[in-house]
Amino acid sequence: MFCAPNLPGDNAKNMKIILLLLSLLVVPALAQSKPTADLIVTNAKVWTVDHKQPTAEAIAVLADRIIAVGSRADIDALRGPNTNVIDAGGKLLLPGFNDAHVHFVDGGMQLDAVQLNDAASAEEFTRRIAEQAKKTPKGAWVLGGDWDETKWTPAKLPTKELIDPFTADIPVFVSRYDGHMSLANSLALRLAGITAQTPDPPGGVIVRDAQGNPTGALKDAAIELMDKAIPPPTHEQRLNAARRALAYAASLGVTSVQHMNPDYADIAVYSELLRHGELTTRIYAAPLITEGVDDQVKIGITHAFGSSYLRIGAVKAYADGSLGSRTAYFFESYSDQPENRGLLGAEMQPLTLMRERMLKADAAGIQLCTHAIGDQAISMVLDLYHDVVRTNRGTEHRFRIEHAQHVAEKDFDRFAQMDVIASVQPYHAIDDGRWAEARIGHDRASRTYAFRTFLNHGVHLAFGTDWDVAPLNPMLTVYAAVTRATLDGKNPNGWIPEQKLSVAEAVEAYTMGSAYAEFQEKEKGSISPGKLADMVILSDDIFSIEPTRIREVKVLKTFVGGKVVWDGERNQSSH
Ligand SMILES: [Zn+2]
């Protein structure tokens, strides 16, 4: 509008008018004379995960973004009359944790469900289910559980006989903690029509007794036989579960999650919470490839489509089962079961169908996240990814392998060459590490949860938990990656200790690594000017305390988009 150099004639007069008009326009800005921050966090030990400026003392936030990172004096210059200043008391401030693999709504539901994971005996398992059944209204099911029979003596798979006497009119279908096996009571089997005559489905096993009758335990694809009998959660139940999960994540410093295989109804719930301003954790949702690929291709969305709070554009596939259920698919048989190499997942049979789905998703720009645990399953997924790369050239794929647990020597390089992200859950290492070697022997165990080997090969690591399979608490995950001390206390110096990571490497995988895995490394994952102000303040400096104490560290404050979504002190005083 004001093109001063082009003004003809009475330049001085014109200039005066222009200056007057300009001053009117810029008065509000001149009055403040410098930009001021909405929020300053100062007196902090900032670990930025930004290699350009690894540490700092203070940060400034405007709206939902970080605008400056520096010394206390630098940042104080951005203080204005309305700036909220938080003194961090010298505590450690990190980018918020980004959990690259969760089952978020299931996790929320689990917070209210029967807790079986720490039931240390079959008797305790029975007692807790009986108690839950008493509280359960007629028509409802007892679900969840996350039992782990390896904690019992003897470690024997549970059968329906344990629970039938207490659950005659309440159907029970409780899952093993790894999600690859569940136990039904007799009523649940009846409702699903599972009898001695029911054949094992492809990719699944109905566990049977010596007479051929189902024991109640269903493995992998056989778990789905129960699907039609269990009423789906209502909208209200999902909404409540998501709210519980959001509050829980905020309390643990988890500012982003990547929800693997959500139901569409879960995404609808997130969308509703987003509309009401209730999302306090950023979500990237990857529905099952078998359901999600055609729909997402039709809409024409691509990876990481959406807003900073809710994104879609990825699909989750399954290549095999789990080590715990002996359904992870290996080149060689299990060391303690010479006839068993595991189970190739139903989606991989026939392989051509999986390849078609992957090609279609990738060609449309949708990100592929594939569960693969056993070394052969991982190898087959890398083969499939290779086929996709050869066919769909020129796009940035950022393929992911979820879990990437047991890797064949030859395959580490292939991860790096195709930039396949290893989306790993270190807590599994200190959990499964108790018994993994007995199942697969030392040689394979040396390439199990091989985080160090991945980094040595230049592979992108993304950290997560697999909640509700493992605890959501990031401190347990960092502890696991750094110590590799198994939960039974038998490996205090680390199980396969050469695979330990440093605290800095673990934090980076949990922030920048996970951000990269969802195409968001320019938006979050480090404390850098221009990025979203997602941050945590911890009770202790995890870089200097004894690694064994990391698991006790608490989150004092969680910020998402510059807003405090968890305040540990306030929460404690209100109790
Ligand atoms: Zn999972």
Give exposure, 65-89, as e/b (b: 16+ Cβ within 10 Å).
Answer: bbbbbbeeeebbebbeeebeebebe
| Beta strands at 310-312 and 282-286: parallel, antiparallel or unpaired | parallel
8 Å CB contact between 340 and 333: yes
Helix, strand, coil percent content, the chain, rounded in steps of 5:
40, 20, 40
Rounded to whole angstroms, what are the CA distances from 26 to 335, 430, 514?
76, 60, 42
Terminal-residue alpha carbon distance, the chain:
59
Q: What pLDDT sits at residue 121?
A: 96
Rounded to whole angstroms, what are the CA distances from 69 to 398, 530, 543?
30, 10, 20
Question: How far, in Å, is the centroid of ligand 1 from the Cα of 100?
Answer: 10
Question: How far, in Å, is the centroid of ligand 1 from the Cα of 135?
Answer: 29
Q: What pLDDT sits at residue 571?
A: 67
CA distance 455 to 501: 9
8 Å CB contact between 414 and 383: no
Q: In what order do the strands lie in the sheet with 92-95?
A: 55-56, 45-47, 92-95, 535-538, 555-560, 563-567
CA distance 403 to 374: 10
CA distance 325 to 263: 24
Question: How far, in Å, is the centroid of ligand 1 from the Cα of 134?
Answer: 30
CA distance 205 to 220: 7
* Structure token digits, residue 529: 């000017």
Question: How far, in Å, is the centroid of ligand 1 from the Cα of 465?
Answer: 8
Q: Which residues pair with 369 in a beta bridge?
A: 316, 400
Question: How far, in Å, is the centroid of ligand 1 from the Cα of 30?
Answer: 54
Q: Tell me 106's DSSP state.
A: H
pLDDT tens-digit readout, 331-359: 999 999 999 999 999 999 999 999 999 99
Q: What pLDDT sits at residue 574?
A: 39
Please enumerate in sequence order all residues whose Cβ is within 8 A of that of 134, keeping only pairs 6 or more positions apart, or say none: none
Cis peptide before 154 (omega within 30 of 0): yes
Residues at Cβ < 5 Å from ligand 1 ion = 466
Question: How far, in Å, is the centroid of ligand 1 from the Cα of 521?
Answer: 22
Q: What pLDDT sits at residue 499?
A: 98
Nearest to 70 by CA among 57, 51, 83: 57
CA distance 64 to 219: 46
Q: What pLDDT sits at residue 225?
A: 96
8 Å CB contact between 103 and 468: yes
pLDDT tens-digit readout, 83-94: 999 999 999 999
CA distance 307 to 324: 37
Q: Which residues pair with 320 in a beta bridge?
A: 344
Q: Tell me 334's DSSP state.
A: B
8 Å CB contact between 158 and 217: yes
Ranges of the chain with pLDDT below 50: 1-10, 12-13, 17, 19-21, 23-32, 573-575
Residues in the chain: 575
Question: How far, in Å, is the centroid of ligand 1 from the Cα of 296?
Answer: 21
Question: How far, in Å, is the centroid of ligand 1 from the Cα of 260?
Answer: 6
Q: Tell me 350's DSSP state.
A: S
Question: How far, in Å, is the centroid of ligand 1 from the Cα of 466?
Answer: 5
Give exposure, 255-288, as e/b (b: 16+ Cβ within 10 Å).
Answer: bbbbbbbbbeebbebbbebeeeeebbbbbbbbbb
Question: How far, in Å, is the centroid of ligand 1 from the Cα of 227?
Answer: 18
pTM of the model: 0.84
CA distance 205 to 217: 9
Question: How far, in Å, is the centroid of ligand 1 from the Cα of 467?
Answer: 7
Q: What pLDDT sits at residue 517?
A: 98
Question: How far, in Å, is the centroid of ligand 1 from the Cα of 221?
Answer: 15
Q: What pLDDT sits at residue 409?
A: 97
H-helix or E-strand spanning residue 42: strand 39-42
The DSSP code sequence of 411-469 is GHHHHHHTT-EEEE-HHHHHHHTTTHHHHHHHHHHTTBS-HHHHHHTTPPEEE---TTS
Which residue intervals of 193-288 are DSSP H helices?
235-251, 264-275
Question: How far, in Å, is the centroid of ligand 1 from the Cα of 402?
Answer: 8
Please enumerate in sequence order all residues whose Cβ is within 8 A of that of 421, keeping only pairs 6 or more positions apart, or say none: 398, 399, 400, 401, 459, 460, 461, 462, 513, 516, 517
Nearest to 225 by CA among 196, 189, 197: 189
CA distance 326 to 439: 8
Q: Tell me 161's DSSP state.
A: G
Nearest to 322 by CA among 179, 532, 455: 179
Question: How far, in Å, is the centroid of ligand 1 from the Cα of 106?
Answer: 11
Question: How far, in Å, is the centroid of ligand 1 from the Cα of 226?
Answer: 19
Q: What pLDDT sits at residue 110?
A: 86
Question: How far, in Å, is the centroid of ligand 1 from the Cα of 183?
Answer: 19
8 Å CB contact between 433 and 486: yes
